[in-house]
Amino acid sequence: MITKDKIDSFIDKIPPTPKALKETLSLLNIGELTKAAKVAESDLALKAYLKNIVNKPIYGFKNEVTDISQIFGILGVSLSQQTVYNYIITLLSPAKWSLFKLSSKTFYELQANLSKKWELILKHLEIDNKDIYSAISLLPSSVIVAEALFCEKIDDVTLLRTTKSLDFNTILIRLCGIGLFDICEQIAIKWEMGELVPQILQASSGLKPAEDEKINLLGKWMHLLLFYELSQPMFIKAGLNDFVDFQIDYVEDIYEEFASLMEIE
Q: How long a stretch of residues is the chain?
A: 265
Q: What is the pTM of this model?
A: 0.85
> Which of 33, 56, 90 represents a domain boundary (last residue)?
90
DSSP type of residue 254: G
The total number of structural domains in the chain stands at: 2
**Higher pLDDT, residue 190 or 67:** 67
Question: Comparing 86-100, 114-128, 249-263, which segment has the lowest mean pLDDT?
Answer: 86-100
Are 103 and 95 within 8 A, CB to CB?
no
Mean pLDDT: which of 54-58, 122-126, 140-144 is highest?
A: 122-126
Quickly count helices (H) and strands (E) in the chain.
16, 0
> Which of 53, 68, 90 represents a domain boundary (last residue)?
90
By residue range, what is the domain housing residue 67? 19-90
State whether 13 and 62 are in the same domain.
no
Are 222 and 136 within 8 A, CB to CB?
yes
Average pLDDT over residues 65-83: 91
The pLDDT score that the predictor gives to residue 260 is: 96
Rounded Cα distance between 119 and 134, Å, is 10
State whether 49 and 136 are in the same domain.
no
Rounded Cα distance between 7 and 5, Å, is 5
State whether 183 and 101 are in the same domain.
yes
State whether 27 and 112 are in the same domain.
no
Using the predicted structure, report yes or no on whether residue 183 has a pLDDT greater than 90.
no
Judged by DSSP in three states, 91 sits in: coil
DSSP per position, 3-72: -HHHHHHHHHTSPPPPHHHHHHHHHHHTT-HHHHHHHHHT-HHHHHHHHHHHTSGGG--SS----HHHHH
Q: Which of 218, 219, 220, 244 is nearest to 231 (CA)?
A: 244
